[in-house]
Amino acid sequence: MICENHTRVTEFLLLGFTNNPEMQVSLFILFLVIYTVTLLGNFLIVTVTSVDPALQTPMYFFLRNLSLLEVCFTLVMVPKMLVDLVSPRKIISFVGCGAQMYFFFFFGSSECFLLSMMAYDRFVAICNPLRYSVIMNRSLCLWMAVGSWMSGVPVSMLQTAWLMALPFCGPNTIDHFFCDGPPVLKLVTQDTSMYEMQALASTLLFIMFPFSLILVSYIRIITTVLRMPSATGRQKAFSTCSSHLIVVSLFYGTASLTYLRPKSSQSPESKKLVSLSYTVITPMLNPIIYSLRNNEVKGAVKRTVTQKVLQKLDVF
């Protein structure tokens, strides 16, 4: 639709969190620390799961992919957010906004499916331990990982292309810290009910469908674990799933609050806090959760760090 008697928007203004200069500096330092911890933690997971022989299993293969996804996911929003916190004008071009939205949807959808693949891996490991190495072979794991990454393409292309093709002829102020679907949708100057129906359908498919797979997997896992005669065996089985369950709860719990209600009555401030939790906080917590709650990862980190230190001592 052409914007009659109006100029089509060519750039957007991101309001961010606050206009208070002192608060902006404090938030910049806080988010920079969080982002640094996120990058270091996830790259550490990628490194130790790649080089340590004890972690060359499907479980850690998927964990490595999750850490790479988290790095890409935060790269879409956080650097721009940090720049805006120290910039007088928080401007993003129309094309830049569309690109940010596309990659946000892409990596977010991919993470949903990757988490479901990780749940299936735990299901096979606990419910079919004798056939685990046969079922979760290298080829299947590779295809599952590729499928998870590529699953984000359809929803990101459809959501972004449709939304950015709608008429933006009026206000250009986005009350958010990045170009997310719901706040951008508020700026459209026509009825958006059709898009909202499509967005809800996409959300149910690309968020709730993988979540349903996770739910089914864990129902089967819990049923199998409760039948185990050994208390030690039950405890060990639950411990291998606890980290994944925490990550799933954090990611799905916060994301559902935003995307199951595109035009909800939540205040912009509360929406920003919810978005902040799954775009900034959760990617930082994931490597910490897996490191603290997994003895194999903790052992691999110690071995890797010790090896690096010894190598540096040998140099001197």
DSSP state of 54: G
Q: Which pLDDT score, from 0 to 100, does residue 265 have?
A: 57
Q: Which pLDDT score, from 0 to 100, does residue 266 have?
A: 62
For residue 304, what is the domain's CATH number? 1.20.1070.10
The answer to whether residue 3 sits within a structural domain is no
Q: Report the number of distinct structural domains present in the chain.
A: 1
For the stretch 119-168, pLDDT in tens is: 999 999 888 888 998 999 999 999 999 999 998 888 889 888 888 888 88
Q: Which pLDDT score, from 0 to 100, does residue 146 have?
A: 94
CB 203 within 8 A of CB 110: no
Q: Largest alpha-carbon pair distance within the chain?
A: 75
Full domain range(s) for residue 196: 11-309
Confidence of residue 6 (pLDDT cuts 50, 70, 90): low
Mean per-residue pLDDT over the chain, rounded: 83
CB 294 within 8 A of CB 247: no
CB 289 within 8 A of CB 246: yes
Across residues 13-40, what is the average pLDDT?
Answer: 88
The answer to whether residue 147 sits within a structural domain is yes
Lowest-pLDDT range, 52-66, 199-213, 217-231? 199-213
For the stretch 287-311, pLDDT in tens is: 888 776 666 676 766 776 666 555 6
Report the alpha-carbon distance of residue 56 to residue 300 in Å, rounded.
Answer: 11
Across residues 190-195, what is the average pLDDT?
Answer: 82
For the stretch 42-99, pLDDT in tens is: 998 898 888 888 788 898 899 999 999 999 999 999 999 999 988 888 899 999 999 9
The answer to whether residue 314 sits within a structural domain is no
- Above pLDDT 70, what percent of the chain? 87
Q: What six digits make up the tokens of 240?
A: 């291998």
The answer to whether residue 4 sits within a structural domain is no
The answer to whether residue 260 sits within a structural domain is yes
Across residues 249-261, what is the average pLDDT?
Answer: 73
What distances in angstroms separate CA 58 from CA 63, 145, 147, 187, one per listed residue? 9, 10, 15, 45
The answer to whether residue 315 sits within a structural domain is no
Q: Which pLDDT score, from 0 to 100, does residue 144 have?
A: 94
Q: What six digits make up the tokens of 102?
A: 């596309």
The answer to whether residue 6 sits within a structural domain is no
The answer to whether residue 316 sits within a structural domain is no
**315 burial type by CB count under 10 A (0-12 exposed, 13-18 middle, 19+ buried):** exposed
